[in-house]
Structure 1
Amino acid sequence: MKRAAQIIRKFNDEIMDSWSKTVKKEVEASRISSNLALRNQLPHVLEDIAEIMDRYEGFEEIKNEERYEEIISNSIDHGRHRAASSKYTVEQILHEYIIFHKTLTDFLRKNDAYTAEVGILLKYTLETAMLNSAGSFTKALQEMRNKLVGTLAHDIRNPVSAAYLAIEMMDYSEGEERLQRLQKLGLRSLKKSLELMEGMLDAITVKAGEGITMNFENVDLMRDVKWVYSEASEIYTNDIHIETDIQELNGIFDGTAIRRILENLVSNAVKHGAKNSAITIKVKEFPEKVSLSVHNFGNPIPQDKQEGIFDFLNSSKKESAGKLKSWGMGLTLIKAVAEAHGGSVELESNEGKGTTFSIMLHKYKNKPGKVRSKLNFSESPAE
């Protein structure tokens, strides 16, 4: 058994190289992954197996072991990683492990290190790994769906509330002009609610590595920014400012998605910023890019929480404070929308300057049409 452990450690890289080549041929989803991304946690699973082999000498010890603790954490991480990789299914994950088992067995046979006990241990440990990876993959996908649907449901509240408020405020005695303005506000908000409901139905069918469906069109983005500014000014008691000298901002964007992320940021700024303090929307244009930012004053987001606030599926078991959790509800989709536009999102938050979320978007990264955004989430770092 210990000789098998030595062979595994000695030929770790060769085993992974051989496995990668076979997987690329036989597992369709693996072909769009780099070798580094493909291997993921499996080299650590290999080391886990070697450690387990060092611990046992005979069949009875192996048979009486109920769990193989070393292998569980890395196999769970492997499954979560595959949930963020496009086109993976449970069947393809299991196929990867079958190839892994065969490759490892072949190396041990070639080096005269394969025995009946080694074979039994490989069977037990890899069955444990397969079970945990498949379960983790399925759970991660369900978390993605739940959070997408939850975020969309959360976002629907604002336009529904705005439509309800507009209808409630309608009063024929205040004149036709005000009545028409409230009617437009109500219809616009209801239309937006219907768009979000369609997105909710779409989110239910999300597959591995997928996020929301993006609809890219050649649009004037300033129309969407002004929409958010105008509606926020009507809904909130805070002063809403817009700082830009841009009148027209053309490019290939998903205007609806960008409206949503701006609405999210303004809503969060009102909710978590200093009471009745001003909220500022800034728009800057560059030759190939555009920058959108939302700023508010108030208590900053803790420094140690800022980096993970955009993570879609945080692997931490600990719940963040309610305020931070509420901030993060829509921020993961903001990151997904920014990255779908070839851009990024940044956060600056401190006591003196307040909180600013800045989104950088490429104007012509995409072609017109519908595509699924990609969702990434944090993983436990490799030791």
Structure 2
Amino acid sequence: MVTLSTDQNLDPGKLSANGRRMLALKEEVLAEWTKRLRQTVKEAERLAQPILINTFPALYDNLAQAISPGYPRVTANEGNTVASEHGSERARLTNYNAYSVISEYQQLRWTIFDVLKLNGIELDESEVFVVHTSIDGSIRESVNGFALAQAALRQRFIAALTHDLRNPLSNAHAYAQLIERTTDPLKTKEFARKILDSLNQMDGMIQELLDSAALHSGERPRLHLEEFDLQEVIKEVCDQLTAEHGCRFQFMGNTVTVWWDRSAIRRALENMVGNALKYGTPDTPIRVNIALVIERTILSVHNEGEPIPPDEMESIFHVFIRAEAAKEGNKEGWGIGLPYVRSVAESHGGSVTVDSAAARGTTFIMDMPQDARPFQDAPILGEAWHVEAARSARS
């Protein structure tokens, strides 16, 4: 029964003999295609099966219709958006590039021919032509959908960047105008400090932009390792935020001396604490904890509030992607902070994890060697591996 074709035809009797034979071999074809794809396309190697298979069953059923003379479908991609939507999903949900998209269609083409031949089914010239034309057309539409989705993601990021930079720029401009109008030295000094704060905020945003470009291209952060007391960094970050958000921060743990990149760790901690402030329940405590366990230092930030949905626990670590709570709540941000935290942790030879549930709250945990010097050249896995590993674990 043809239930996955895009016209939802339920009558296999309308198909030709080869169309019905082809349909009967669908599971065998897709299983063989999956095996070949994982072996030949690196980006597909660890993808969970539901993500990998995507819209290909519908395309396959459409092919069975298209090779059937008299059926009102000229090619598998004619009159539907299956291929373009497939390309869009590959851009949004995987680490595919355009070559990966093309390769999986090419693999499908030859897998169909090989499996049909293995089962003694020979297609005539017109049927072979339909298969080739359908696959070629699907490639064009899918690559176009892939490119459009990537362009949309970039445009969304640029819009967020423009919006976020406008606020501190407007603040600096307003305080500059106030300086022009006042003759009070104390007020002038206060307004100048406000301008510097706004400029520093803009500088931080621009630095995040540069970091995001590096993260998106798979580059690792450049580390400048030094020995310092981690408790001092925590105190600096919490003191700075207490002035704005009140006495919500609780520190737990003892002094721990580490060999880490002080500046990178501070920014990572600011991102984790900032996340707790954005998404945690207002006026509830935010706990920052450090612990030393067998020459590894564990730095964690905990907040109460709505949990992160299980299907978003991996995506929040992807560049330019934010959780639904952020989108629905109109939270500011570009989706760069947590990917940066992960990159810093991995560059120090460690990792970052998240634990979130309604009864437990949300905790982000950086777990790294106390002395990162032996590990500063360790490779980072990058976003693609984490996407695929998480989906494989859930499948």
Q: Give TM-score scaled by structure 1 length.
A: 0.66
Query: Which one-letter code corresponds to 1:225 in the other structure?
Result: I
Aligned with 2:109 (options 97, 101, 107)? 101
Aligned to 1:259: 266
Aligned with 2:299 (options 292, 305, 326)? 292
Shift of 1:343: 1.2
Query: Which one-letter code corresponds to 2:73 in the other structure?
Result: I
Aligned to 2:12: none
- For residues 138-166 of structure 1, the C-alpha deviation after alignment (integer angstroms, 9 at most, x for no partner) is 34544654576677778879998999999
- For residues 310-338 of structure 1, the C-alpha deviation after alignment (integer angstroms, 9 at most, x for no partner) is 52489999887733866995664366436
**Equivalent runs, 1:1-383 vs 2, <5 Å:** 1=18, 2-17=20-35, 24=40, 30=41, 32-33=42-43, 35-37=45-47, 47-55=57-65, 57-58=68-69, 61-63=72-74, 66-68=78-80, 76-82=88-94, 84-85=95-96, 88=97, 90-109=98-117, 111-127=120-136, 129-142=138-151, 145=154, 190=199, 193-194=202-203, 196-201=205-210, 203=212, 210=217, 214-220=221-227, 222=230, 224-251=233-260, 253=261, 255-273=262-280, 275-297=282-304, 300-302=305-307, 305=309, 307-308=311-312, 311=315, 312=318, 322-323=328-329, 329=335, 332-333=338-339, 336-337=342-343, 340-341=346-347, 342-350=350-358, 355-362=362-369, 364=372, 366-368=375-377, 373-374=382-383
Gap runs ≥5 in structure 2: 1-17
What value does the CA root-mean-square deviation take over the aligned residues? 5.2
2:246 counterpart SS class:
coil
Aligned to 1:27: none
Residues 302 and 286 (structure 1), Cα distance of their counterparts in 2 relative to 1, 3 Å cut:
closer
- The answer to whether the 8 Å contact 2:289/2:301 transfers is yes
1:301 counterpart SS class:
coil
* Identity in percent: 16
Shift of 1:10: 3.6
- For residues 253-303 of structure 1, the C-alpha deviation after alignment (integer angstroms, 9 at most, x for no partner) is 5x4444334223333444555555543322222235332222345xx2157
Q: Tell me how far apart the structure 1 counterparts of residues 88 and 387 of structure 2 sit (CA, whole Å).
A: 14
Deviates more, 1:238-247 or 1:106-115: 106-115
Q: Tell me how far apart the structure 2 counterparts of residues 133 and 362 of structure 1 sit (CA, whole Å).
A: 44
Corresponding pairs, count = 357
- The answer to whether the 8 Å contact 2:175/2:195 transfers is yes
Q: Tell me how far apart the structure 1 counterparts of residues 379 and 197 of structure 2 sit (CA, whole Å).
A: 23
Residues 336 and 292 (structure 1), Cα distance of their counterparts in 2 relative to 1, 3 Å cut:
same
1:63 counterpart SS class:
coil
Deviates more, 1:110-119 or 1:156-165: 156-165
- The answer to whether the 8 Å contact 2:238/2:249 transfers is yes
- The answer to whether the 8 Å contact 2:287/2:301 transfers is yes
Q: Give TM-score scaled by structure 2 length.
A: 0.64
Residues 356 and 289 (structure 1), Cα distance of their counterparts in 2 relative to 1, 3 Å cut:
same
- The answer to whether the 8 Å contact 1:278/1:296 transfers is yes
Residues 319 and 160 (structure 1), Cα distance of their counterparts in 2 relative to 1, 3 Å cut:
same
- The answer to whether the 8 Å contact 1:306/1:347 transfers is no
2:329 counterpart SS class:
helix
- For residues 11-58 of structure 1, the C-alpha deviation after alignment (integer angstroms, 9 at most, x for no partner) is 54445545666xx3xxxxx3x557454988565655434423444521
Query: Which one-letter code corresponds to 1:67 in the other structure?
Result: G
Residues 18 and 112 (structure 1), Cα distance of their counterparts in 2 relative to 1, 3 Å cut:
same
Residues 258 and 317 (structure 1), Cα distance of their counterparts in 2 relative to 1, 3 Å cut:
closer
Residues 132 and 196 (structure 1), Cα distance of their counterparts in 2 relative to 1, 3 Å cut:
same
Shift of 1:245: 0.9
Gap runs ≥5 in structure 1: 25-29
1:100 counterpart SS class:
helix
Deviates more, 1:237-246 or 1:55-64: 55-64
Shift of 1:72: 6.3
1:214 counterpart SS class:
coil
- The answer to whether the 8 Å contact 2:251/2:289 transfers is yes
Q: Tell me how far apart the structure 2 counterparts of residues 277 and 330 of structure 1 sit (CA, whole Å).
A: 25
